[in-house]
Amino acid sequence: MSKENVALIKGIYDAFSTGDVAGVLGRMSPAIVWNEAENFPYADGNPYVGPEAIAKGVFARCISEWNGFTVAIEELLDAGDAVIAMGRYLGTYKATGKSMRAQIVHVWRVLDGKAVRFQQYADTLQVSRVTGAA
Which CA distances in Å does 74 have to 63, 77, 84, 88, 128?
A: 22, 10, 11, 8, 23
Q: What pLDDT does residue 43 have?
A: 98
Q: What pLDDT does residue 48 have?
A: 98
The yes/no answer on whether domain 2-131 falls in CATH 3.80.10.10 is no
Q: What is the DSSP string of 42-54?
A: GGGGPSEESHHHH
Q: For residues 132, 86, 46 and 1, what is the CA-based torsion angle, rounded to 10 degrees?
A: 170
What is the value of pTM for the model shown?
0.95
What are the boundaries of each domain within the chain? 2-131
pLDDT tens per residue, range 32-63: 999 999 999 999 999 999 999 999 999 999 99
